[in-house]
Chain A
Amino acid sequence: MTLAATAGHPGFLSPNGVEIAFVLVGLATLGAALITVTTKQLVHAALWLVVALGGVAVEYLLLTAEFIAWVQVLIYVGSVVVLLLFGLMLTRAPIGRSPDADSGNRWIALGASLAAAGALVWVVVDAFRTTWIDLDGPAQGSTKASGEFLFRHWVLPFEALSVLLLAALVGAIVISRKDRQDPQGGQGTQDRRGGGGRQGSNGVQGPSGPQGGDDRRERPTVNREDKS
């Protein structure tokens, strides 16, 4: 799966095939990412996210990091996006535009994302300034190489991340259990009832009741009017 490249001198002015492909895939990924955050259709945004994440996986492949590429597909495309779609379909997934999905925080979000992107680019550029991957040689991102690197030189960060994830897992369980003990809390129910999905915001819903966990009733029904 590693793509062999013609031997190229390190330099920006004599790009070889893999480098050109890298830039093109990068542009496509960037485009998909932009559509993800600007589209008015919620589920389309999730699907464009698949394209963007898949593009990142292809970039990893082009850099011979095969293991990371497939893990990227497995975790992000196969699980995270499925989780996103599941959440959308469970709450609100109208076909067509959803104008109420815009947040007033968009400028703050833009600033935060630009700052994060700037920091990441700066760190990566600063760390790998003069490092070049030899795309002709043996794959430097093979499973064996990644595994040895991870468990020889980066064990401590790896374990710290594991503990962090475990804490998040325990936290999620605690939060979900609290919810169950307090089924009369109107707020959560109210939020979910707002997600009438395809019925739009006309408020003609099934019988209203404060019972929590009554997801079945709020399943969106198809309605011709909401195409307008």
Chain B
Amino acid sequence: MNDVLDVALRLVIVFAVFMVVPLVVGQAEHKVMAHMQGRLGPMYAGGFHGWAQLVADGVKFAQKEDVVPADADRRIFQLAPAVALLPYLLVIVAIPIGPGEGAVGQVVDAGIFFVLAVMGVGVLGSLMAGWASANKFSLLGGLRTAAQLLAYELPMLLAAASVAMAAGTVSLPGILNAFEWWWLPWQIVGALVFFVAGLAELQRPPFDMPVADSEIIFGAYTEYTGLRFALFLLAEYAGIVVLCGLTTVLFLGGWHGPLGADGLGWVWTLLKTGVLAFVVIWLRVTYPRLREDQLQKLAWTTLIPLALAQIALTGIVKVAIN
């Protein structure tokens, strides 16, 4: 009985994190963008700095009519947001935020493979949405999404493989247990490659060609309204949380901090994740969108060679240490 309770409690906590943290990131994006661009943004809802604007947005989304275009493939069109969102929920289960078994939803032996595999499934949601909408802008968005995924999956995997080599394990808590501070300079190139490739996989600016709102009007999501559209947005924010959490765990040492108090491990994890999420938002505000050919070129001619070089470096250092 105790086991059942334990599992249930973990699932409830993971679900709560999944529902709350992406919304916090979304709210932070509103505010950070507003400040960086020297504008106020919505300031009235709720009083202080318009903190309730997110709630108002949610109510607005829930009230809108759920439209399915007449020519669309109805079932796939309606299924797509779930396919886009649920993988991130599964990934959050495996990310450890503190030392010990108590601070991770479920210890997965092949953790890196689990998170990368399941994250890749999420992209199927965008593809399904793009195809099933019966709209050429959506189809274009879907095509670009697929091309982008194919290009950036490889450097992401290679960068993650470099960390796995360094730690000698593919389990996420195992990697953190093996972490030393000097991994930071050692793996810095891999970290950059991983983060950039992850951004591209999430289609965040400057890699948002698949959803470029000024050209193909939000790509695969053009025809979506109401709650289903909100689910896609939520998937994007959940993706930011997952990417930042993973980068923290794999490259930035997760719960390790300069003030190595054991009880405060989860604070370090959340802090690093938060800083990375801020960087993600910052990039959105500062960088212009990359063109489609620039996107592909960056992946194939820059990131993949860098990731391979990182793997070679990791191997050399690893052999030298042993």
Would B124 and A93 count as touching, CB distance under 8 A? no
Question: Which of A79-87, A104-112, A148-156 binds B?
Answer: A79-87
Interface string of B151-195 (1 = CB under 8 A from A): 001000100000000000111000000000000000000000000
Residue of A nearest to B107 (CB): A1
Would B120 and A74 count as touching, CB distance under 8 A? yes
Interface string of A86-100 (1 = CB under 8 A from B): 100110010110000
Would A79 and B153 count as touching, CB distance under 8 A? yes
Q: Is A139 an interface residue (CB 8 A)?
A: yes
Residue of B nearest to A75 (CB): B117
Count of A-B contacts with CB under 8 A? Answer: 106
Would B110 and A66 count as touching, CB distance under 8 A? yes
Would A222 and B134 count as touching, CB distance under 8 A? yes
Size category, B interface: 35 or more
Would A1 and B132 count as touching, CB distance under 8 A? no
* Contact flag A47-B128 (CB < 8 Å), given A78-B153, A90-B143: yes
Instruction: Give the chain B neighbours of A73 by CB distance below 8 A.
Output: 117-118, 120-121
Q: How far is the CA of A118 from the CA of B162 in the complex (A)?
A: 40
Closest CB in chain A relative to B160 CB, distance in Å: 11
- Pick from A2, A67, A221: contact of B136, CB below 8 A: A221
Q: For the complex, count residues of A whose C-beta is within 8 A of B.
A: 35
Closest CB in chain B relative to A175 CB, distance in Å: 18
* Contact flag A79-B146 (CB < 8 Å), given A66-B110, A85-B131, A139-B109: no
Would B113 and A70 count as touching, CB distance under 8 A? yes
Query: Which residues of B pack against A, CB within 8 Å?
Result: 71-73, 76, 106, 108-110, 113-114, 116-118, 120-121, 123-124, 127-128, 130-132, 134-136, 139-140, 142-143, 146-147, 149-150, 153, 157, 169-171
29 contacts between A and B (CB under 8 A): A1-B108, A1-B109, A43-B73, A43-B131, A66-B109, A67-B170, A70-B110, A71-B113, A73-B120, A74-B113, A74-B116, A74-B117, A77-B121, A78-B121, A82-B146, A83-B146, A85-B131, A85-B142, A85-B146, A89-B130, A89-B142, A89-B146, A95-B71, A95-B73, A95-B134, A143-B171, A198-B134, A222-B71, A222-B134
Closest 9 A-B residue pairs measured CB to CB? A78-B120, A74-B117, A70-B113, A86-B146, A73-B117, A67-B110, A70-B117, A143-B110, A70-B114
